[in-house]
Amino acid sequence: MEHWFTDIAQALVNWLMGLGLSAGWADFVLLIVQWLCIVMIVTINVIILIWLERKVSGFIQLRLGPNRLGPYGAFQTIADAIKLLTKEDIIPSRTDKWIFMTAPLFFIVVSVMLYAVIPMGDGMQVVDFNVGLLYFISIGSLSTICLLMAGWGSNNKWSMLGAMRAVAQMISYEIPLAISLLGVVMIAGSLRLSDIVVAQGNIWFVLLQPIAFITYFIAATAELNRGPFDMPEAEQELTAGAYTEYTGMRWALFFLAEYTNLVAVSALCATMFFGGWQGPGLPSWLWIIIKTYLIMLVFMWMKWTFPRIRMDHLMSFSWKILLPVSLANLVLTGFGLEFFKWMGWW
């Protein structure tokens, strides 16, 4: 069980090399297969997640959630996906066509790119980058541009307003997010995600860095534009923010990308703070799935519990509270590390 996927990959490479391909080409084909797998994982995950989100929100609001199509309404999202795929793709006449049309594509591509560095099991990583975390954070902040593209291209004041809110919010929360992760990096001594996982062999970093975990969690919620920080969408004020003018598949791509980001950020959270794929008994890839889903459930739980906060409160919370706290945590971690080294405990 443990090595199923790595074995399959190895067998594929061996088979290709047996066909007379050079090692480089075989790796290239493997890369393509891996990407396809990631896209598949993402799609399946999103289908499950949307169902889960609706169920969780229903349960929290004393409703039942989807319960008609299939057992416990499990096929509801599939029906919705088919509906969205077959819907007419409306492009309003006054939009900036190219920007309008490509924004969702960029968004989904950027979201899928995040998965390149996430360790999805022992040795199950598309690229084991030595600056994996840096890559993750920088690619993650690219989605800001996609939202701005969508808002600008729509040529609609609500979309523009939503996009501007998204940019302001995401850039502000990017900073505490990165700084809170730095504490973990200092302890692990590496930006390589697999190293960080291995460094948590004895103790999860959530216990060593509780403040960093809390700031990361809050900042990640804002990064994902999820409630209570879903100002950019805020359907009561902005209809759907940057997504207002989108229909059919393009809108579905945005939706897909949002949930893809959710999975990626939760997986990173599991990797950085909860020991990644490490765990007793079960195979490593199952452990990361379990941890990721538990973290996503907490995200959903928070979304359906807290009311949306105001834009100015949002910004001042980021700059006046989150940033100082994460900076203080960084300084504390530095002193702590030096102290431990000085005492010879590290």
Partner 1 sequence: MYGKGLLKGLWITFKHSFEKKDLVVRYPEQMPHLQERFRGSLAFDFEKCIACGICIRNCPNNVLSMETAKDEDSKKKKLMQYTIDLQYCMFCNLCVEDCPTNSLYFTHDFELSQFHRDDIKRVYHRPPELDQQEAAQKTSDQDTQTAADDKKEKQLRAMINAINKNPQKVLARVLDGEEQVEVLAAVLMADEKKLARMAEMMITDKEKAKKVALAFVKKELKEREKGGDQ
- State the residues that interact with partner 1 by CB under 8 A: 56, 58-64, 301-302, 304-306
In the bound state with partner 1, the residue whose beta carbon lies nearer, of 143 and 326, is: 326
To partner 1, the closest distance from the beta carbon of 175 in angstroms equals 21
* Residue 110 CA from chain centroid, whole number: 11
* Cβ-based nearer residue to partner 1, 243 or 317: 317
* Residue 41 or 302 having the CB closest to partner 1: 302
Distance CA 247, CA 234 (A): 18
Q: How far is the CB of 19 from partner 1 (least distance, A)?
A: 54
Q: Which is nearer to partner 1, 56 or 242 (CB)?
A: 56
* Cβ proximity to partner 1, 64 vs 331, nearer residue: 64
* 3-state SS assignment for residue 204: coil
What span, in angstroms and rounded, lies between the C-alpha atoms of 140 and 17? 35
Q: Say if CB 248 and CB 255 are below 8 A apart.
A: no
CB of 277 to partner 1, least distance (A): 28
Q: Assess contact for 222 and 299: CB atoms under 8 A.
A: no
Report the nearest approach of partner 1 to the CB of residue 62 (Å): 5
**Residues, the chain, total?**
346
Smaller CB separation from partner 1, 1 or 62: 62
Torsion of CA 9, 13, 16, 18, to 10 degrees: -130
Angle between helices 248-273 and 23-60 (to 10 degrees): 100
Residue 258 to residue 187: CA distance in whole angstroms: 31
